[in-house]
């Protein structure tokens, strides 16, 4: 008989709610703390399978930590501002607030139906005045600290969303949400001085040992620390100098031209009296500016006819171009070009017939270089470089900088790719920036007593642009200083502003101040933070910056927000198209006995595509609610964690979720059968063997919980289940031992499938809830297995040895062999052609 999952899941969700099982207090205890947090979701109104996987991971970790005796904080909230709500308001003739609140209620009910153990008493929504009013207070403190400022600057403009984007929100030259080609515009914008923390953000990456290496590398590259020289070039017949940052000052003797970005102040100044230049700049504003586009695209330039004076060669001048491959986002927005040793410079020089002067030659005479065809970017020594001739590149770099400093034309300098964070957005559904603009007093912060600055509810969306600009009264205010008529700031914050501090607010969502320092000291940093890798240089970088800025404003004492980071993989599904090439939903497709796929309606041919991330555009979605209704929440949770490690992509399949469902039914029957052995005395030896197996599995499962190896945990639990099924039929195994082993199995599965295990725990005669039970203690003697030393050879040569359990399977033995540093060094990245594993003796790898 199948276990009645609907009744059981509803029953235990009600009990957990009545018992306040997940409420966390801020009182001090002697328990170790564990703050588990998944990135809070945008309330779209409906869960997808990515949500199920992401929050199942976090919930499993939280339940395990609680069982280990930790005091667990596991909160939930809503990242509720943003353009989708504004767009939905237009499409559905409703308000963004009403749409958002309705969606929150729907998603909250779905979260509860999955049994996620959130402390709902700490729930917050970023669109509520009680949250964003405190955010406004934080911004004003940033402003007083000099970390927030307003200036006219070139910005990334999304022509579809009619909104400014931060550099981090431009992906391959397109808006991160709309996908539209981004343009450049000049606007008055509010920014935060994240660049004040460039070095600290970079240095402290080395301490984030609990983060995936690829995320650390992505942030390191985005911050982009460069060492080089700052050079001031004289410009003939011009009243300004050309400031250049370069990492290659030693190549100055190979310089053949200088170039500036289309948005460089000198270019703008010249364009005021040069219509052709103005047109060229306008053309550049609409072109993509990604690294790939700049490297592979057509290099275009405009000759200003200004001449730049060479600092080392008397009487030599260099032509100054405005070039489409130079960006204001790096260095000073200007460069000197050495075409012989830089690919972009080389392409430009060939197009405009500029000199290509070789100044670096390979050390080896066997290496031939033709710099007329391609730039040479390898190592070597200096040639054609006057006082630098014969020096290595590194030696020449140091000498060139010393010469520039002696001539008072330059200095050694460190620069960063990172730019200040533009937080102004021209839209309604966001946190109002709490500033008033007065003709007499200038920029005036809104007094604390007048916070929050609330969004008006009576806005209209029938005009292009920001609805706050069109509101008849909201922006009309009196200046807090002089009481003359003034205008309220109509820009709202980038939504990443809200997500940059919510994890700190969760420590005490009832605090009157934005943050409760004592509560933050208790709970922070977050011990496990779970979310998508797509936020590596967006949310995660901003959150790190906010933490440091809040520290410097006296709010908190910590410097880093997240101790361990788990970036879960995507949930993928096969894609389907009909005979006309239109995408089909999985429920529109069926598989015939022979393996052919056809449409449900009419049984017409279907083309099966590769498995890809679930998305609305390709219709390869699975509705979590239909899975819950058919198989139950526990089956959905179990399957999303059983197939692959959590940081890897996961392929959804109907067969897989049915397999999870069948296993839960086996578990249900196993406990029924264990109860039916009541009174069986058994024999000591047979019972001892079951006890050993139980504690050996308990040890392995516990170790894998510690490293989030959920797929291995489930595999070991299935193995223990099989052993106990066999033991039930063995009359020599006592009821007492079967009961103990059954309870261990229930407890180790509880973090993964909390509903069925709570019910089975109760059926085993326990009066307290399994959620209150401590993790089963491992009997070291029973858990110990015989160990052997395995030798490892690579291509027949001995390269090391390791110790492992004698009952380890071949895959585990091979995995341990490949971990040996000596083996990795000898393989040197070469693929394994063949592996020979002789049990308990030797591993031979053929590469």
Across the strands, what pairs with 793?
798, 844
Cα–Cα dist 847/833, whole Å = 5
The pair of structure tokens assigned to 618 is 């390709």
Q: Three-state DSSP class for 675?
A: helix
Predicted pLDDT of residue 289: 63
Within a 13 Å sphere around the CA of 748, how many CA atoms are in the beta-carbon half?
A: 34
Task: Give every residue of the chain whose pLDDT is below 70, as ranges.
Answer: 1, 168, 288-295
Res 290: pLDDT: 62
Please confirm whether the linkage preceding 397 is cis (ω < 30° from 0): no
- Contact between 530 and 39 under an 8 Å Cβ cutoff? The reply is yes
Q: Which residue has the tokens 């290595």?
A: 392
pLDDT of residue 1: 61
The Cα 553–Cα 114 span in angstroms is 40
Q: Give the pLDDT confidence of 718-739 residue by residue, as tens digits.
A: 999 999 999 999 999 999 999 9
Euclidean distance between CA atoms 494 and 431, whole angstroms: 8
pLDDT in tens, 296-335: 778 999 999 999 999 999 999 999 999 999 988 788 999 9
**pLDDT of the residue at 575:** 92
- Of 196, 210, 258, 251, which Cα lies nearest the Cα of 388? 251
Residue 368, pLDDT score: 77
Burial 701-719 (b: 16+ CB within 10 A, else e): bbebbeebbbbbbbebbee
Q: What is the enclosing helix (H) or strand (E) of 381?
A: strand 381-382
Q: In the structure encoding, which two tokens stand for residue 445, read together?
A: 């912060």
Full set of structural domains in the chain with CATH: 31-137+500-567 (3.40.50.620), 225-416 (3.90.740.10), 572-652 (no CATH), 785-846 (3.10.20.590)
CA-CA distance, 277 to 678, in Å (whole number)? 92
**Are the C-beta atoms of residues 608 and 573 closer than 8 Å to each other?**
no
Assessment of whether the complete model's pTM goes beyond 0.85: yes
| pLDDT for residue 176 | 75
- Tokens 């005395």 found at: 681
Quick one: pLDDT at residue 168? Answer: 64
Query: Structure tokens of 567?
Result: 């970036």
Looking at residue 464, its pLDDT comes to: 75
């Amino acid at each position: 008989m199948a276990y009645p999952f609907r009744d059981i899941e509803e029953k235990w969700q009600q009990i957990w709610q009545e018992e306040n099982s997940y409420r966390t207090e801020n009182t001090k205890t002697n328990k170790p703390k564990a703050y588990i947090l998944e990135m809070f979701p945008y309330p779209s109104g409906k869960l997808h399978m990515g949500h199920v996987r992401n929050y199942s991971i976090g919930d499993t970790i939280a339940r395990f930590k609680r069982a280990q005796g930790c005091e667990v904080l596991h909160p939930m909230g809503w990242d509720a501002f943003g353009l989708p709500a504004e767009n939905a308001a237009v499409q559905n003739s409703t308000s963004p607030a009403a749409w958002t609140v309705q969606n929150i209620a729907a998603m909250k009910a779905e979260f509860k139906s999955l049994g996620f153990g959130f402390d709902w008493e700490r729930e917050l929504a970023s669109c509520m005045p009680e949250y964003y009013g405190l955010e406004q207070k934080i911004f004003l403190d940033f402003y007083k600290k000099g970390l927030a400022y307003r200036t006219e600057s070139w910005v990334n403009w999304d022509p579809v969303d009619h909104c400014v984007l931060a550099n981090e929100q431009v992906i391959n030259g397109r808006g991160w949400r709309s996908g539209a080609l981004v343009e450049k515009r000049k606007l008055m914008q509010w920014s935060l001085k994240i660049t004040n923390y460039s070095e600290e953000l970079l240095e402290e990456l080395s301490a984030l040992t609990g983060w995936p290496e690829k995320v650390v590398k992505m942030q390191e590259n985005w911050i982009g620390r460069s060492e080089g020289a700052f050079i001031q070039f004289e410009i003939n017949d011009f009243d300004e100098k050309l400031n250049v940052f370069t990492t290659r000052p030693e190549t100055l003797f190979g310089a053949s031209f200088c170039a500036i970005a289309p948005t460089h102040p000198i270019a703008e100044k010249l364009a005021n009296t040069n219509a052709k230049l103005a047109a060229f700049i306008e053309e550049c504003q609409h072109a993509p500016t990604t690294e790939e586009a700049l490297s592979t695209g057509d290099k275009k330039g405009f000759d200003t006819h200004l001449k730049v004076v060479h600092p080392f060669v008397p009487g030599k001048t260099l032509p100054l171009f405005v070039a489409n491959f130079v960006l204001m986002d790096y260095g000073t927005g200007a460069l000197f070009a050495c075409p012989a040793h830089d690919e972009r410079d080389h392409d430009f020089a060939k197009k405009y017939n500029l000199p290509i002067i070789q100044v670096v030659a390979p050390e080896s005479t066997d290496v031939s270089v033709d710099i007329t065809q391609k730039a040479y970017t390898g190592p070597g020594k200096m040639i054609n470089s006057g006082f630098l001739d014969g020096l290595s590149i590194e030696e020449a770099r140091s000498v060139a900088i010393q010469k520039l400093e002696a001539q008072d034309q330059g200095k050694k300098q460190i620069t960063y790719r990172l730019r200040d964070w533009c937080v102004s957005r021209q839209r309604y559904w966001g946190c109002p920036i709490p500033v008033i603009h007065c003709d007499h007093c200038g920029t005036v912060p809104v007094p604390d007593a007048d916070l929050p600055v609330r969004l008006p509810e009576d806005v209209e969306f029938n005009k292009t642009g920001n609805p706050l600009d069109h509101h008849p009264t909201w922006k009309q205010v009196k200046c807090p200083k002089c009481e003359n008529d003034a205008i309220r700031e109509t820009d709202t914050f980038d939504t990443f502003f809200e997500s940059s501090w919510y994890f700190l607010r969760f420590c005490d969502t009832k605090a009157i101040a934005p943050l409760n320092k004592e509560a933050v000291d208790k709970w922070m940093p977050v011990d496990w933070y779970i979310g998508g890798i797509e936020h590596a240089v967006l949310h995660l970088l901003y959150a790190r910056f906010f933490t440091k800025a809040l520290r410097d404003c006296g709010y908190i004492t910590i410097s880093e927000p997240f101790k361990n980071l788990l970036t879960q993989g995507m949930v993928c599904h096969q894609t389907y198209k009909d005979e006309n090439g239109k995408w089909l939903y999985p429920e529109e497709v069926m598989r015939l006995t022979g393996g052919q796929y056809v449409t449900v309606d009419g049984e017409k041919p279907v083309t099966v595509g590769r498995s890809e991330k679930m998305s609305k555009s390709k219709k390869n979605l699975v509705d979590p609610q239909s899975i819950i209704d058919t198989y139950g929440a526990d089956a959905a949770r179990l399957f999303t964690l059983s197939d692959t490690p959590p940081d890897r992509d996961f392929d959804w399949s109907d067969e897989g979720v049915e397999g999870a469902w069948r296993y839960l039914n086996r578990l249900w029957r196993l406990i029924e059968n264990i109860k039916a052995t009541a009174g069986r005395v058994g024999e000591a030896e047979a019972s001892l063997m079951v006890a050993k197996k139980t504690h050996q599995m308990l040890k392995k499962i516990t170790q894998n919980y510690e490293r989030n190896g959920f797929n291995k945990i489930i595999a070991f639990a299935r193995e223990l289940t099989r052993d106990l099924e066999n033991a039930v039929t063995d009359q020599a195994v006592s009821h007492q031992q079967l009961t103990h082993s059954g309870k261990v199995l229930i407890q180790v599965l509880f973090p993964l499938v909390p509903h069925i295990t709570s019910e089975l725990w109760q059926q085993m005669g326990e009066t307290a809830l399994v959620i209150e039970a401590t993790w089963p203690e491992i009997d070291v003697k029973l858990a110990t297995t015989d160990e052997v030393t395995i030798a490892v050879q690579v291509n027949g040569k001995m390269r090391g040895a390791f110790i492992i359990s004698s009952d380890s399977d071949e895959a585990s033995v091979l995995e341990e062999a490949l971990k040996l540093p000596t083996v990795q060094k000898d393989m040197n990245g070469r693929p394994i052609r063949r592996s020979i594993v002789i049990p308990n003796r030797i591993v031979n790898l053929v590469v």
